[in-house]
């Protein structure tokens, strides 16, 4: 059995099928890991969502910021943005089944046999491996409840630093934002969502990619994530970004191979 990790599909079902043909994916023997952001961008978000759901145990997907946006819009808490391509999902006859399936997905997935961990954006430096799984589960358990509307209604972005005393919606919001939006941080580990100068477009000074923060507690992990920040081709121990601009796969072996 071979496992492949795949970057953000973003509603491009045609590119996904071409990539799966290239790697000769066999759902009876192979497994796919998706870094989230299955939807939005391309015109085939519904087809992508239906396909990944249909794979059952042959596929794992973690939640990305686009899935959270879709769920929030579906709950009536946010409106569609001008460039969203989510209407086909929201108007589909199987909409409720698809959304329920999404709410049952994880923020972080780990396989001890493969020795790989997948998350959409990143894992805060302060978190240990066990804490990352525990904190992610806190959000996942609320998402899976019938009263999950409150999570969408109370999500916020003001909490930029983690500390153990965080409680309630601030705590859950930070966990979601870290796992689905984090890219650059300042040297103290503070999340910085607007990390480029509005006028020049250049990266603001003093910011570093989340995985380069000193004393990061998950340096022992092999972490796969979607490279929404365009870090580019990097060589950093245990860090495997998958381009968000060009759909690609990573063959998970002792010596991972990019495809």
Residue 1's closest CA among 31, 24, 41, 21? 31
Angle between helices 168-181 and 65-74 (to 10 degrees): 130
Report yes or no on 225 lying in a domain: yes
Residue 9's closest CA among 219, 246, 251? 246
Looking up residue 56, the CATH number of its domain turns out to be: 3.60.21.10
Report yes or no on 183 lying in a domain: no
Report yes or no on 176 lying in a domain: no
Report yes or no on 195 lying in a domain: no
The pair phi, psi for residue 14, each rounded to 5°, is -65, -45
Report yes or no on 158 lying in a domain: no
| Residue-by-residue pLDDT tens, the chain, 259 positions | 899 999 999 999 999 999 999 999 999 999 999 999 999 999 999 999 999 999 999 999 999 999 999 999 999 999 999 999 999 999 999 999 999 999 999 999 999 999 999 999 999 999 999 999 999 999 999 999 888 999 999 999 999 999 999 999 999 999 999 999 999 999 888 998 888 767 787 888 889 999 999 999 999 999 999 998 888 767 899 999 999 889 999 999 999 999 9
Number of domains in the chain: 1
CA angle at 242 for the pair 160 and 10, rounded to the nearest 5°:
85
Report yes or no on 88 lying in a domain: yes
Instruction: Spell out a b/e string for 41-56, using b for 16 or more CB atoms within 10 Å of the CB, else e.
Output: bbebbbbbbbbbbeee
Its pTM surpasses 0.85: yes
Report yes or no on 162 lying in a domain: no
Report yes or no on 51 lying in a domain: yes
95: domain range?
3-146+217-258
CA distance 102 to 22: 27
CA angle at 140 for the pair 139 and 143, rounded to the nearest 5°:
90
């Amino acid at each position: 059995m071979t496992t492949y990790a795949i970057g953000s599909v973003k509603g491009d079902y045609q590119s996904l099928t071409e990539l799966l043909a290239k790697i000769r994916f066999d759902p009876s023997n192979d497994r796919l890991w998706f870094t989230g952001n299955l939807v939005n961008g391309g015109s085939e978000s519904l087809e992508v969502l239906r396909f990944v759901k249909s794979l059952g145990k042959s596929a794992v997907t973690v939640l990305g910021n686009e899935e959270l946006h879709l769920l929030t819009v579906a709950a009536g808490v946010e409106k569609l943005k001008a460039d969203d391509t989510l209407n086909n999902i929201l108007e589909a006859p199987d909409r409720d089944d698809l959304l329920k399936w999404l709410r049952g997905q994880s923020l972080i997935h780990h396989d001890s046999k493969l020795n790989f961990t997948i998350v959409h954006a990143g894992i805060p430096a302060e978190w240990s491996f066990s804490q990352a799984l525990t904190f992610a589960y806190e959000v996942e358990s609320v998402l899976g409840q019938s009263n999950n509307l409150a999570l969408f209604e109370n999500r916020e972005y003001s909490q930029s630093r983690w500390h153990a005393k965080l409680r309630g919606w601030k705590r859950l919001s930070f966990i979601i934002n870290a796992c689905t939006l984090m890219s650059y941080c300042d040297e103290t580990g503070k999340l910085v969502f607007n990390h480029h100068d509005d006028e020049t477009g250049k990266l603001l000074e003093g910011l570093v990619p989340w995985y380069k923060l000193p004393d990061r507690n998950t340096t022992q992990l092999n972490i796969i994530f979607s490279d929404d920040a365009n870090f580019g081709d990097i060589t950093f121990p245990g860090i495997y970004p998958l381009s968000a601009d060009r759909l690609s796969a990573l063959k998970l072996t002792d010596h991972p191979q990019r495809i």
